[in-house]
Amino acid sequence: MSPLAGFLIVAALLFSIGLAGALTRRNAILVLIGIELMLNAANLNLIAFWRYGPHPEALTGMMFAIFSIAVAAAEAAVGLGLVIQIHRHAHTTDIDAMNRMKG
Amino acid sequence: MSFVFYILATLTLAGALAAVMLKNTVHCALALTVAFAGLALLFLNLDAQFAGFAQILVYIGAVAILVVFAILLTKGSETPKDGVFSRTWLAGLAIAAAVFAVLGWAVLNSAWALPHETAVPEVTVKQIGDALVGRYVLPLEIVAVLLTAAMIGAVIVAMHEKERTK
Amino acid sequence: MSTTLFTVTADQFFVLLQHWVVSFLPGSWQPVAATVVSSAAIVLLFPILFALTTVFERKGLARIQNRLGPNRVGPFGILQPMADGIKSLTKEDIVPTTADAAVHFLAPVLLVVAVFMGFAVLPMGRNMVLVDMDAGLLFYFAMGASTELSVFMAGWSSRNKYSLLGAMRAVAQMISYEVPLLLSAVTVVMITGSLSLTKIVAAQDQYSYGLPHWYIFTPWGFAAFVLYAISTTAETNRSPFDLPEGESELVAGYHTEYSGFKFALFFLAEYVAMFSISGLGTTLFLGGWSAPFAFLSWVPSWIWFFSKLMMSIFVFIWLRGTLPRLRQDQLMNFAWKFVLPLCLLNLLVAALWRFMGDGWLRWVVCSAILVLAYVGMGLIGMRSKRLGPRSYRYAE
């Protein structure tokens, strides 16, 4: 098995662990943690393909990963701000309890 | 593959598993930090030094601290009485397993077509800088606008509303 | 500039010593052994400097406050660190029963590791850098960002309101001042054109009319140095920004529940962080290991680096003894509303400097912009405060 396949398997595993966390946990913050893990798995995929791909000097994979890191940080900030505001309103972060549109 | 890769992969996956399975939310956030550190080391293993250090600086230095602050501000460190896993946890686990099965099958089936060893790319920070203001100047500007909007938006979303006087 | 054999040997003394030690090992082990020897030297040297600095600080603070410092243990109290060391090693290690034991144990360990990693990229003399990385400055700041998380871990795991409050304040302060710290360093990077610390020092190692090309002697460099100094004082939680560990306020902040060796580790980490960040400041602004005048180049380069480092530490101690502590909201306002806009303006001024070309005009224009901005922002900030006339009280 080539090194690239190893990195891709690790990224796939990381992605599914993040997905499992986002789908099975009750706390809204843990859903966001799962999302961050999924984004990181995608970054690992990008960098692995950049390294072992045909034209690493074009820097495409690395640039994509760097922009992805920046966007993920922005999304984490907004998402966590939303969770804090929801907690202030509903006094809970349990997403199973927030199953009605009425506030 | 090399011994170092196995150690780093184990560290990252262990951190990720702990991050989604532990009961105490702050422990989950700290395990997430371990996963981020493992990923940064994997990037360094792939000769992407800039991406690795940017990962440490942004994810461990900012996103992990954001997560931890959010946990503290929402009293997340108290364990809920109904358990930490949702009622539909089995469906979520099944979906995640199915996704991994598909991705793993795709990788293993195409393993014969993947390149084995290529030369280490010589990437200097100067090349990254030139690329950022040369070929990738449009994404750079858009990300700048996005970060400004996200910052202003996060402040507005999380701001205390004015108290309504009766 | 004399290049006699003696001066070159003195300058490269530690490099030659390292090569001699490593030469006893077989060829394939030599690069690893060289790194191990250098790392061991750093890990041994800076704690010894830390011990000397604790005495230096206590005596210095004492004299500023018109009293004697420790003077019982050894001549002039020089052996005080030995007494302190024995005390902290033999004190009972108390962990509160409700504390999170694993996190409580790991926090000081991670802090010390992250702080020592920063030394890997500092050029302490000619050819004396542990790892010459192309993105050295980015590595340094990445390690600095890792220290914030361990501060939080220490505060949260103690299950103590004082610790948690101190940790939250410390983390908020550190992330607020991280931005001006990076921006003032980015100004230097912009002018030098490289993130590599060895190249930054090499760019300052030139002399014209006998005066050095250190960045602190340019208008933007001086402003960047002042902003960097303010940010480093806040990053290392030193007075006047030491509310998170304010001894008269918060018991001891985030290290309230630590005793014995773990407290000594926090103390060590704080001082070694001071050394590390002063080392970076000398590299970026004060010319690193280069001599102040061309005719003084015969003095070994590592002596210049460490003297500049100790001068910066002396300024830290001086600030601690002189200035009163800032309140948390005052220091956060200061960071976001004064220091950050000045940093951004400084970036603009540095770019102006670069593109104006050589000559007296760029000195005048850049200095004028910076002075006007500083005075203007100060006046705007003072407009809303109603202050009475200044009063003086003298010690009778």
Q: What confidence tens digit (pLDDT) does each residue in C124-152 have?
A: 988 888 988 889 999 999 999 889 889 88
The rounded mean pLDDT for chain A is 90
What is the predicted pLDDT for the residue at C251? 66
**Residue B49 near residue B68, CB atoms below 8 Å:** no
Higher pLDDT, residue B12 or C13: B12
Burial class of residue C394 in the structure, from the number of CB atoms within 10 Å of its CB (0-12 exposed, 13-18 middle, 19+ buried): exposed
Dist. CA C169–CA C246, nearest whole Å: 11
Count of structural domains, chain A: 1
What is the predicted pLDDT for the residue at B79? 67
Least CB–CB distance from A34: residue in B20, B29, B121: B20
Q: Is residue C38 part of a domain?
A: no
- For B:80-119, CB contacts with A below 8 A are 80, 82-89, 91-93, 95-97, 99-100, 103-104, 107-108, 111, 114-118
Domain extent at residue C260: 91-378
Contact B61 C152 (CB under 8 A): no
**Residue A47 near residue B43, CB atoms below 8 Å:** yes
Per mean pLDDT, which range of A40-54, B110-124, B149-163, C275-289 is the poorest?
B110-124
Dist. CA B26–CA C119, nearest whole Å: 30
Q: Is residue A97 part of a domain?
A: no
Interface test mutation site (partner A, options B57, B100, B102, max chain A beta carbons within 10 A): B100
Q: Is C205 helix (H, G, I), strand (E, B) or coil?
A: coil
Residue C289 DSSP code: T
The rounded mean pLDDT for chain C is 88
Tell me the per-residue pLDDT of C202-211, one tens digit each, with 9 for 90 and over: 999 888 877 7
Tell me the per-residue pLDDT of C254-265, one tens digit each, with 9 for 90 and over: 777 888 888 899
| Confidence band, pLDDT 50/70/90 cuts, at residue B166 | very low
Q: Is residue C243 part of a domain?
A: yes
| Phi, psi (deg, nearest 5) at residue C211 | -95, 145
Domains of chain B: 1-80 (1.20.120.1200), 123-166 (no CATH)
Q: Is residue A100 part of a domain?
A: no
| Confidence band, pLDDT 50/70/90 cuts, at residue A29 | very high
Residue C223 in this model has a pLDDT that exceeds 90:
yes
Contact B97 A59 (CB under 8 A): no
Per mean pLDDT, which range of A6-10, C249-253, C281-285, C348-352 is the poorest?
C249-253
B157 touches chain A (CB under 8 A): yes
Per mean pLDDT, which range of A61-70, A81-90, B10-19 is the poorest?
A81-90
Dist. CA B146–CA C120, nearest whole Å: 35
Q: Is residue A82 part of a domain?
A: yes
Q: Is residue C108 part of a domain?
A: yes
CA distances from B164 to B160, B161, C191 (A): 12, 9, 52
Dist. CA C135–CA C115, nearest whole Å: 18
Q: Which residues of B touch C178 (CB under 8 A)?
A: 61
Residue C361 DSSP code: H
Domain extent at residue A20: 3-90
Count of structural domains, chain C: 1
Q: What is the CATH number of the domain that holds A85?
A: 1.10.287.3510
Least CB–CB distance from A51: residue in B28, B46, B95: B46
Peptide bond before residue C240 is cis, with ω within 30 degrees of 0: yes
Q: Give the largest CA-CA distance in chain A.
A: 54
Q: Is residue A54 part of a domain?
A: yes
Q: What number of other Cβ atoms are within 10 A of residue C339's Cβ?
A: 25
Contact A69 B71 (CB under 8 A): no
B33 touches chain A (CB under 8 A): no
Q: Is residue A98 part of a domain?
A: no
What is the predicted pLDDT for the residue at C396? 66
Residue B24 in this model has a pLDDT that exceeds 90:
no
Residue C319 in this model has a pLDDT that exceeds 70:
yes
Q: What number of other Cβ atoms are within 10 A of residue A41's Cβ?
A: 25
